[in-house]
Amino acid sequence: MKTEHKTDLPLPKPRETNPEIIAAEIIERLTYGIGKDAKVATPHDWLTATILVVRDRIIDRWMESTRGTYKSNSKRVYYLSLEFLIGRLMRDAMSNLGLVEDIRAALVTLGVDIDVIAGLEPDAALGNGGLGRLAACFMESMATVNIPAYGYGIRYVHGLFRQQMADGWQVELPETWLAHGNPWEFERRESSYEVGFGGTVETVVNGSEDARYLWKPSERVIATAYDTPIVGWRGERVNTLRLWSAQPIDPILLDAFNAGDHIGALRESNKAESLTRVLYPADATSAGQELRLRQEYFFCSASLQDILRRHIQQGNTLAMLPDKVAIQLNDTHPAVSVVELMRLLCDVHGVDFDEAWEITRKTFSYTNHTLLPEALESWPVPLFERLLPRHMQLAYAINAKILLYARKDRQLQDAAIRHISLIDENGGRRVRMGNLAFVGSHSINGVSALHTELMKETVFADLHKLYPDRINNKTNGITPRRWLMQCNPQLTGLIREAIGDAFLDDTEQLRSLDALADDPSFQEKFAAVKRANKERLSNLVTSRMGIRLDPSALFDIQIKRIHEYKRQLLNIIETVALYDEMRSHPERDWVPRVKLFAGKAAPSYHNAKLIIKLANDVARVINNDPSVRGLLKVVFIPNYNVSLAETMVPAADLSEQISTAGMEASGTGNMKLALNGALTIGTLDGANVEMRDHVGEDNIVIFGLTADEVAKVRSDGHNPRAVIEESRELSQALSAIASGVFSPDDRSRFSELIEGIYEHDWFMVAADFDAYARAQRQVDAIWSDPVSWYSKTIRNTARMSWFSSDRTIRQYASEIWGA
């Protein structure tokens, strides 16, 4: 039955922004929404009341945006992502609505400090790193550039994990961001769907009609929607982030409970809820692999059922789906959507297989974020078939269609056929989800120019030959609202004073700062802003870790997920070499430097966790050695998240973007740091290449092997031991680490980690060390000339405007989505 949506209902009157009226509304919310008297209200009560007042103003615009989309029946974009790292929302929403100062003034009259209560808002534990933060930036930019969009993901109860340190080791604890509720979200009970697993597939034949297939799952759970409004700049549009929570069909088995099996009676409830408890459960075990696949299918199935329901409800036919719906797969995790949409079209709605395939392919587009084989997911065929038997049938049917086309129409040979196949035959058969996403999409995009070309040459080389027009590039971007205006209000104020307000609505206007890069007065003000941001970070480090930092030192920052290809290890080894040099040559004029690290390691990634321990062990030794006279400090700040990034990014002098060339898809931390006036030291990897082109070769410090050179060194037979023996500083640093200088309680703790560099050096740590060390001394020389330093960093801020996610989203909209 079609539901009629009345779009001509009267809209509510715009709410007042007068501080006095806002203060009265906060008191009203405190009293009637929370049930507290202002005299006894806690800071958390004031936070919730303030959020509810801000939320009211968002809801008015949210409803207006939704009504407008229904009325126009315009094309919608659906962004499917396993992560949405949205961080805290209150300050973001206030900023985009232009309410920060009015809310601040209102709270002052109530005796409340906005900065204190804003700091109490928990970060939404919905992501891990760059993938999730990109999704959050894209959601905000889609609202900003007026694209009707939904984000679809999972409402994780405990997220990835909360990181603590125990004697320098990473310890994973559950996030508790939902412990006291989430005032931003709205439960949508009417948007609940059954999602099945396991069972059997029956063939149904009706006379002369083609056979139909009926999947009868053996398990079912309920997916219930929770909606969060995402506000665009100036509140012109508000889009929806819809997250799914899993609930059992029967929350308790009363027969078992009454029989005394009180734990067993909750088995189905626990099994369902486990789907949405943790992001990226460890997959080292078969149970962990199964849970990951269940999670991915759960959110994809619920999202697609919701999308089709909305599409049909508006009176559209299924043949019109590509004209009204664009579904973007954010990396490989949602790839099972391809076969799920085929199942829904063929089995539920009775669409012919070939027509369903055409609809599916025209509807989906796929963003690839990695060239690492382990990140291009694949699932054992027995697991996939047991859990999703109908989807396995459809995967085989799609594979047959693709391979016959490759063999008969394109005359591809056996080697290419093996690489194109959705089924990996090496060892035990596995379903290649990256290949499934590729063949099931009309557009496959990389996220930087280099990454896109490498996709064509490596992981998707044969698929690119089969479909040469599908791969395209959409270089990533960041939202300047969060990563300049909100996180760095002092710099924003300085820029407004210098060039006016036009850049607030058009980031390209930042280019006007170029003319001030060599202006002594502006440099002085720019330096003062940077100093204030460094003092803020120093205070945070002191309060959390008891370590005092010198804000006049060079703040050298590497903040990102801990992974060997991101080469935190290279940074630490060079730090050890610098430490040795400082002790050996105290007569030299050393640049005071603070090395700051932050990031999480996957719980099952042994070497990454060992690198964190090494950073903390090195920090303990260096920070307590009086011979360096405070000229070098090392700090690893635990529990890196969006809020910590908002403090660290504006404080950075030097941005470490030193991944092994050819292994980083794009990076967005590089963009955030440069936009906030940090000089980049990096390899020609990911978006660093385009950053160099935009900021200019003189305003970035590039070192090391290129992607082509890395590939050549590997193919020619890399001999890292010989390289190490020729570099005295590298050899001494590795020897110190391996022999236990920094781990006297366990002399062999890091020996295996260092031995990997001697034996294979896959991530080119030894190969790039000397170039990296020279680049760091080049940084010292630039730092020692403040006029040159600030000339370069101001130009970084001025020339990063192209890396706005608004630009990226406009390219997606015009070149992929047709939205």
Torsion sign over Cα 578, 608, 119, 174: negative
* Tokens encoding 669: 């931390």
Residue 47 token pair: 């936070």
Grouping H, G, I as helix, E, B as strand and the rest as coil, residue 454 is helix
Q: Which helix (H) or strand (E) holds 649?
A: helix 642-651
Give the bridge partners for 212, in sequence order.
Answer: 204
Written in H, E and C, the secondary structure of 696-750 is CHHHCEECCCCHHHHHHHHHHCCCHHHHHHCCHHHHHHHHHHHHCCCCCCCCCCC
Main-chain phi, psi angles of 522, to 5 degrees: -70, -40
Query: Could you tell me whether strands 632-636 and 200-204 are parallel, antiparallel, or unpaired per DSSP bridges?
Result: unpaired
- How many other β-carbons are positioned within 10 Å of the β-carbon of residue 602? 19
* 638 to 212, 574, 608: CA distances (angstroms): 55, 22, 14
How far apart CA 128 and CA 765 sit, in angstroms, is 25
- How big is the chain by its Cα radius of gyration, in Å? 27
What gap in Å lies between CA 577 and CA 584, rounded to an integer? 11
Q: Which residues of 413-437 are buried (b: 16+ CB within 10 A; e: fewer)?
A: eeebeebbbbbbeeeeebbbbbbbb
Beta-bridge partner residues of 430:
380, 424
CB atoms closer than 10 angstroms to residue 504: 17
Residue with tokens 């935190």: 568
Query: 46: which 2 tokens?
Result: 């004031």
Q: Catalytic residue positions?
A: 369, 560-561, 566, 668, 672
Query: Which secondary-structure segment (H or E) carries 796?
Result: helix 786-799
Say how many C-beta atoms besides its own lie within 10 A of residue 50's C-beta. Answer: 27
Contact criterion met (CB below 8 Å) for 668 and 476 = yes
Judge contact between 364 and 322, C-beta under 8 A. no
649-to-53, 392, 484, 541, 678 alpha-carbon distances in Å? 30, 45, 9, 14, 8
- CB distance 747 to 740 below 8 Å: yes
The residues pairing with 473 across neighbouring beta strands, listed in sequence order, are 446
Euclidean distance between CA atoms 761 and 757, whole angstroms = 4
Q: What is the C-alpha to C-alpha distance for residues 483 and 489, in angstroms, rounded to an integer?
A: 10
* 277, two tokens: 């408890």
Tokens of 619: 């920090």
Torsions phi, psi of 326, nearest 5? -125, 120
CA 807/CA 131 separation, integer angstroms: 18
Task: Give φ, ψ of 521 to 5 degrees.
Answer: -65, -45
The tokens describing 320, both together, are 């019109």
Six-digit token string for 522: 């502006």
What one-letter code names the amino acid at 577?
A
Q: Nearest Cα to 645, choosing from 235, 186, 86, 150?
A: 86
Sign of the dihedral through C-alpha 4, 57, 245, 478: positive
What's the rounded Cα separation, in Å, for the pair 356 and 308? 13
Beta strand pairing status for 423-424 and 378-380?
unpaired
Distance in angstroms between the alpha carbons of the first and the last residue of the chain: 28
